[in-house]
Structure 1
Amino acid sequence: MEAVRLGIIGLGNMGKGHIGYLNRGEVSNVLLTAVSDYDPAGLEWAKQHVGEQVALFADPYELMASGLVDGVLIATPHYSHPELAIAAFERGLHVLCEKPAGVYTKQVREMNDAAARSNTKFSMMYNQRTNPLYQKLKDLNDSGELGEIRRTNWIITNWYRSQSYYDSGTWRATWAGEGGGVLLNQDPHQLDLWQWTINMMPKRVRAFCYFGKHRNIEVEDDVTAFVEYENGATGVFVTTTGEAPGTNRLEISGDRGKVVIEDGQLTFWRLRTPEREFNAAFTGGFGQPECWKCEIPIHGENPDHKGITQNWVNSILYDEPLIAPGEDGIKGLMLSNAMLLSTWLDDWVDLPIDEELYYSYLQKQIAASRKTNGKGVL
């Protein structure tokens, strides 16, 4: 195979965005050969923006069965991601899936199982994993520079969304239409990076989600969560779409110092002596380890979506290791599911969560959703 023949499923904002950089030739060794969208308007747009050699399908399953593609990029509404991915795997097609992996971990686990049974390459569109800031943080942790992690803290409140944004579509911010709010729509990248950069998932979560606190919506728009890790470390995750101006600050504290990422800068307060070692030897009254403030240089640009797409293509053609293996998609989703379940139960939730219990609570929300008017479940 000299080039990957690609089909894009879903021509909303993200699908159109992917077509944009492909049309500009910003990903090598890939040919856009087919697109699909249930909405006639999406296909009409495609007629104007893709070449005549690109086949148009209203039905994504017809696209997958056409023999025109080697892999698909799924950019459809959240609930459909696992169903479409599983269908692709069963047809021997490679899959690149937009975030989130799905709405609930039960369906995403089924997707991961299908991927494992297939001889295909499966990646998530976690384009922030290509950001040099977060790659450097991961490097500092992987190399031992931070020492044992003590505390994590992410304040990510710069997701401001107005009521008019939510009113722009009847499916927006509904349990039936989207399956969640700020955690599922805006935060998947941060929830992924929160665990990816330190190679740790919490062992349990206690969260407080507020539903329609700032806007007239069904789903969560304000969240504060506290987590505990197996090694005794703790963490806090704070997010909302109702604050202006917002903050985006990630702080990781370890035995050898503290890292802060904010305003596009990475600062490392490095302890000359690890805290535990200093504490064991220090005999004075007041004192603390010598600390150096280090502005860590960040090299390179973030290739973003096209970087993940190129990596996936290279993995198909040359077996290049995936930056964002598709199976990782369940991790960030597990965190958001746990936060919602903790709120609904008003209690701690252990990880991995009880997937059947979460699914049952989600169905109750869907049944009461204005999107379905209480009729049917997804």
Structure 2
Amino acid sequence: MKPEVVRLGIIGLGNMGRHHVDTVLNDRVPGCELTAVCDSNPVKQSVGKGLPFYTRSSDLIRSGKVDAVLIATPHYSHTPIGIEALEAGLHVLVEKPLSVHKADCLRLLATPRQKSQVFAVMLNQRTDPYYQTIRRMVQDGELGRIHRIHWTITDWFRSQAYYDSSSWRATWEGEGGGVLLNQSVHNLDLFQWIFGMPHKVHAVCSLARYHYIEVEDEVSAIFQYYDGTTATFITSTGEAPGVNRLEVIGDMGRLVKEGNRLSFHRNQVSSSDYIRSTPEGYLTPPVEIRNIDIPDHGEQHTGIIKNFVGAILRDDKLLSPANDGIHAVELINAMILSSMHQSIVELPIQAAVYEKTLQNLIFNSHFHKTVSPYQGGFGNYLQKSST
């Protein structure tokens, strides 16, 4: 019998964990009750507003007080905590990324579980109607055959104060990567969700170009597909003002998403047909411009939690099942491998090869970090907290 309410425990009370606590405690997720919280730092007990508090994730998982957990801890711990929670029979929602590298993703996804257990990953930008519309248009063939994709995402700006705020941030040992794994994992998930996985990757990952860190803060990459489609992907946390512009070129025209605008310059005749049939040497096909009106960017994190709870209570279809989380991680791993070896990397990658590469980066690191308590404001979805 399905429960009437999902008893949720949140593990990890950093920026995102506190945001999720606030979401559930303010009744933004119907059918969900926050019943326990956990953080290794006992100072954060007050975040739970008097709820049962644990400093060990194992104790919360085995407390009997929760049916499900939301894991919002530093990246490397997603795999061991997720495995333990699944083995305990709990439903699991893991913050992005699913894991740091493909090998850990595979270990987590291989954990035996009951068919009734719900396992999801926080890929919240899948709730955005802009990207849902783009995906539908691509999959329905409105653009015809896709020739080229170009995505520049340089509006992930972060200051040195951001990186200095936590000991684990922007280190190979603590975080496992930089802009790709922390920020652009969202965009890379959307990329493969809309267009599928490429066949080859060639990337230049600039380490510490803008910040005193040891991981990448700027990336330029080229993706190749079996059908000849090519794509460029550019991202940075050091450019200001930044831009987020996705351009998709197909036989039937150009689709552009930038900021709060989505427009389709639609060819009245497919470019391939026009090339073969027109007697003109210079004129392009006639075009009609359609501006697509979309009211907002969806429910984001709250929407994913609602979907997760709905899957537990009513068997709703998951928008971001855990199995999907491995794809963006593999793309990230391939991009870093390509940059490290200055070569084109074919997908799928060998998980053990990247895991060994990462272990070598950690072993050979001489980076020394000074942590400074963060005093500034928070991002667009986070509220400033004194804890």
TM-score of Structure 1 vs Structure 2, range by shorter chain: over 0.9
Question: Residue in 1 aligned with 2:169?
Answer: 172
2:285 paired with 1:289: yes
Relative to 1, partners in 2 of residues 1:358 and 1:135: Cα closer, same or farther, differing over 3 Å?
Answer: same
For 1:253-281, what per-residue CA distance to the aligned partner results, in whole angstroms no more than 9, with x for missing partners? Answer: 11211111102111111111122222232
Question: Residue in 2 aligned with 1:42?
Answer: 44
Are the aligned partners of 1:174 and 1:369 in contact in 2 as well (CA < 8 Å)? no
Give the secondary-structure state (helix, strand or coil) at the position aligned to 2:173: coil
Are the aligned partners of 2:11 and 2:39 in contact in 1 as well (CA < 8 Å)? yes
Structure 2: any 5+ residue segments left out of the alignment? 370-387
Distance 2:113 2:251 in 1: 37
TM-score by length of 2: 0.91
Kindly state the Cα deviation for residue 354 of structure 1 after the two structures are TM-superposed. 1.5
Distance 2:347 2:20 in 1: 34
Kindly state the Cα deviation for residue 368 of structure 1 after the two structures are TM-superposed. 2.5
Kindly state the Cα deviation for residue 42 of structure 1 after the two structures are TM-superposed. 1.6
Within the candidate set 316, 319, 325, 2:321 is matched to 325
Alignment of 1:139-288 (within 5 A): 139-198=136-195, 200-288=196-284
For 1:152-182, what per-residue CA distance to the aligned partner results, in whole angstroms no more than 9, with x for missing partners? Answer: 1110111222223222233221111111011
Are the aligned partners of 1:157 and 1:241 in contact in 2 as well (CA < 8 Å)? yes
Are the aligned partners of 1:257 and 1:269 in contact in 2 as well (CA < 8 Å)? yes
For 1:355-375, what per-residue CA distance to the aligned partner results, in whole angstroms no more than 9, with x for missing partners? Answer: 1111111011111234689xx
TM-score by length of 1: 0.93
For 1:44-86, what per-residue CA distance to the aligned partner results, in whole angstroms no more than 9, with x for missing partners? Answer: 432xxx3x4x321111111111111111000000001111111
Distance 1:37 1:111 in 2: 21
Are the aligned partners of 1:171 and 1:371 in contact in 2 as well (CA < 8 Å)? no
Distance 2:314 2:114 in 1: 21
What amino acid is aligned across from residue 112 of structure 1 in structure 2?
L
Are the aligned partners of 1:7 and 1:69 in contact in 2 as well (CA < 8 Å)? yes
Give the secondary-structure state (helix, strand or coil) at the position aligned to 1:216: coil
Relative to 1, partners in 2 of residues 1:152 and 1:166: Cα closer, same or farther, differing over 3 Å?
Answer: same
2:114 paired with 1:112: no
For 1:1-52, what per-residue CA distance to the aligned partner results, in whole angstroms no more than 9, with x for missing partners? Answer: 1011111010111111001111111110011111111111122432xxx3x4
What amino acid is aligned across from residue 20 of structure 1 in structure 2?
D
Within the candidate set 342, 347, 350, 2:346 is matched to 350
What amino acid is aligned across from residue 282 of structure 1 in structure 2?
T
Question: Residue in 1 aligned with 2:62?
Answer: 65
What amino acid is aligned across from residue 164 of structure 1 in structure 2?
A
Relative to 1, partners in 2 of residues 1:60 and 1:218: Cα closer, same or farther, differing over 3 Å?
Answer: same
CA RMSD of aligned residues (A): 1.6
For 1:239-298, what per-residue CA distance to the aligned partner results, in whole angstroms no more than 9, with x for missing partners? Answer: 111111111111111121111110211111111112222223223222222111110121
Distance 2:115 2:210 in 1: 44
Question: Residue in 2 aligned with 1:312?
Answer: 308
Kindly state the Cα deviation for residue 299 of structure 1 after the two structures are TM-superposed. 4.0
Structure 1: any 5+ residue segments left out of the alignment? 374-378
Question: Residue in 1 aligned with 2:99?
Answer: 102
Count of matched residue pairs:
367
Relative to 1, partners in 2 of residues 1:249 and 1:95: Cα closer, same or farther, differing over 3 Å?
Answer: same
Residues 272-281 or 23-32, more deviating: 272-281
What amino acid is aligned across from residue 297 of structure 1 in structure 2?
D
